[in-house]
């Protein structure tokens, strides 16, 4: 249980620092389309946005990256809820299984969106198309999302086995 408390503390610490960023992102997304941020040094996915014009595709990429970050923060919030159920020793609760599946979908969507946005930004800003093999952080996020979905399925099987075991005397 000590490891669970350490994990919960780390996730809570990350959550505390993420909340102000959520407020900034929510205010920043509409401001992207109305103000010129050419003076700011913004770099996302190794693309420096102040070196290019402030066109509509640039603003759209920034907004989509910001929304994608909000997906990851929401997945972190759901993971906090899962850890809370674990601390209450409600491991096989239906809500835990639903949260695992929802976290999996969010992380998978976020990884795919980030991969596509990275590809499009390289294509648009650097006018080059490249395919890289190896350990890519976006692929790791997709794999983590799929892992959470598999974990949800495993918990369904374990819950069924536990219910059958409880009925057996």
Domain carrying residue 140: 2-167
Confidence of residue 49 (pLDDT cuts 50, 70, 90): low
- % the chain with pLDDT above 70: 87
Residue 59 token pair: 């603003």
Euclidean distance between CA atoms 116 and 138, whole angstroms:
10
Between 105 and 59, name the one with better pLDDT. Answer: 105
Nearest to 125 by CA among 73, 63, 54: 54
What pLDDT is attached to residue 37?
62
Tell me the pTM.
Answer: 0.85
Confidence of residue 43 (pLDDT cuts 50, 70, 90): low
What pLDDT is attached to residue 125?
73
What confidence tens digit (pLDDT) does each residue in 76-89 have?
Answer: 999 999 999 999 99
Q: What is the number of domains present in the chain? A: 1
Residue 153 token pair: 């399925």
Backbone phi, then psi, for 64, in 5-degree steps?
Answer: -65, -40
Instruction: Please identify which residue in the block is written with the tokens 């949800």.
Output: 152
What confidence tens digit (pLDDT) does each residue in 139-152 have?
Answer: 899 999 999 999 99
């Amino acid at each position: 249980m000590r490891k669970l408390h350490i994990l919960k503390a780390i996730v809570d610490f990350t959550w505390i620092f993420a909340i102000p960023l959520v407020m900034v992102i929510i205010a920043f997304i509409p401001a992207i389309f109305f103000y010129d941020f050419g003076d700011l040094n913004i770099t996302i996915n190794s693309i420096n946005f102040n070196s290019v014009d402030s066109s509509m595709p640039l603003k759209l990429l920034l907004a989509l990256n910001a929304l994608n970050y909000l997906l990851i923060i929401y997945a972190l919030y759901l993971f906090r809820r899962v850890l809370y159920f674990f601390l209450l020793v409600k491991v096989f609760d239906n809500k835990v299984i639903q949260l695992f599946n929802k976290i999996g979908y969010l992380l998978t969507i976020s990884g795919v969106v980030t991969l596509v946005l990275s590809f499009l930004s390289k294509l648009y800003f650097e006018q080059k198309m490249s395919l890289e093999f190896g350990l890519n952080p976006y692929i790791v996020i997709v794999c983590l999302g799929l892992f959470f979905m598999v974990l949800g399925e495993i918990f369904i099987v374990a819950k069924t086995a536990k219910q059958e075991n409880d009925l057996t005397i």
